[in-house]
Amino acid sequence: MGDYGAGFRNWGETRVNRAHPIRAGKNGLVSSPEDPPRLLLIEDEPKLVDMLSTLLVDEGYEVDTATDGQRGLHLGLTRRYDVVVLDRGLPAVEGLDLLIRLRSRGVTVPTLVLSALGNPADRVAGLDAGAEDYLAKPFDIDELLARLRALRRRHLDTARVLPLPGGALDLDTRQATMGSEAPVRLSERECALLATLAGRPSRVFTRTDLQVLVFDDAGQDVIETYVHYLRRKLGRGVVDTVRGRGYQLGRGK
Ligand code: CA
């Protein structure tokens, strides 16, 4: 069975005692029960693949597995995942090469690297290749699950907050915080307009762009009204008017 002894000993107990499985939405990890987090497991050891995929499915993940680096790379590039568990020692394409190739193609999915090599230099190599976390074999199953939860939570936290000039926009609460001032709650439309601009801060959006992206059922004059609302709530510098072209995220006051 290899060296995952601690994990196996805890395994049955872990499942029985887990009062709030991930699929119940604990920690806000899952937006709805219909939408389980998708996990890609890339590992070449069959017994470990079986054990981990059973356990991860039981935790509420929808799991795809790949047992060599080539297949793992293909899945990572062609499907969308919420988290990846990646073994370092893989046939065809080595784990860290695979990760570097995913990152160079713009795939930012949070990734935990598993490795039989656990020395500090090895961990650094994993993090340098673009891993968010690194776990040495033999590992404890509970620790792996906890790290995966933390990884997804961190990722969701960052993904749901957009930077503003001198502040931040929280898409879940629709609150914009500018400097040290109290958070300001935005209407749904105000938030959508600001999030669109803040999602691509270097782009100038024409009125037509914004009408299509944000105000699909209204005329273009409504855009100016909402820009005015945002400036009144968050300061003039939050949105810049680019004369003759449209609007862009501001550069602050
Ligand atoms: Ca391996």
Task: Give the pLDDT confidence of 160-205 residue by residue, as tens digits.
Answer: 778 888 889 888 789 999 888 899 999 988 998 998 888 778 889 8
Instruction: Choose between 253 and 19: higher pLDDT.
Output: 253
- In the reported structure, the alpha carbon of residue 88 is separated from the centroid of ligand 1 by a whole-number distance in angstroms of 6
pLDDT of res. 239: 96
pLDDT of res. 253: 60
Architecture of domain 4-159: 3-Layer(aba) Sandwich (3.40)
Domain 161-249 is found in CATH 1.10.10.10:
yes
Rounded mean pLDDT of 221-230?
Answer: 94
In terms of phi and psi (left: phi > 0; alpha: psi -120 to 50; beta: otherwise), the region of 38 is beta
138 CB burial (10 A radius; 0-12, 13-18, 19+):
middle
- In the reported structure, the alpha carbon of residue 245 is separated from the centroid of ligand 1 by a whole-number distance in angstroms of 54
Rounded mean pLDDT of 105-109?
Answer: 78
- In the reported structure, the alpha carbon of residue 146 is separated from the centroid of ligand 1 by a whole-number distance in angstroms of 22
Residue with tokens 């935005």: 186
The answer to which of 19-23, 32-36, 80-84 has the lowest mean pLDDT is 19-23
CA dihedral 118, 122, 126, 127 (to 10 degrees): 100
Instruction: Choose between 158 and 53: higher pLDDT.
Output: 53
- In the reported structure, the alpha carbon of residue 32 is separated from the centroid of ligand 1 by a whole-number distance in angstroms of 34
* Domain segments of the chain as ranges: 4-159, 161-249
- In the reported structure, the alpha carbon of residue 95 is separated from the centroid of ligand 1 by a whole-number distance in angstroms of 9
- In the reported structure, the alpha carbon of residue 29 is separated from the centroid of ligand 1 by a whole-number distance in angstroms of 29
Rounded mean pLDDT of 139-165?
Answer: 85
pLDDT of res. 217: 64
- In the reported structure, the alpha carbon of residue 60 is separated from the centroid of ligand 1 by a whole-number distance in angstroms of 25
pLDDT of res. 33: 38
Q: Is the pLDDT at 54 greater than 60, yes or no? A: yes
Look up the pTM and report it.
0.55
Q: Give CA–CA dist 143/152, Å, rounded.
A: 14
- In the reported structure, the alpha carbon of residue 87 is separated from the centroid of ligand 1 by a whole-number distance in angstroms of 6
Rg (CA), the chain: 22
Grade residue 208 by pLDDT with cuts at 50, 70 and 90.
confident
Rounded mean pLDDT of 224-236?
Answer: 95
Average pLDDT, whole number, for the chain? 82
Give the pair of three-digit tokens for residue 217: 């059922």
- In the reported structure, the alpha carbon of residue 102 is separated from the centroid of ligand 1 by a whole-number distance in angstroms of 19
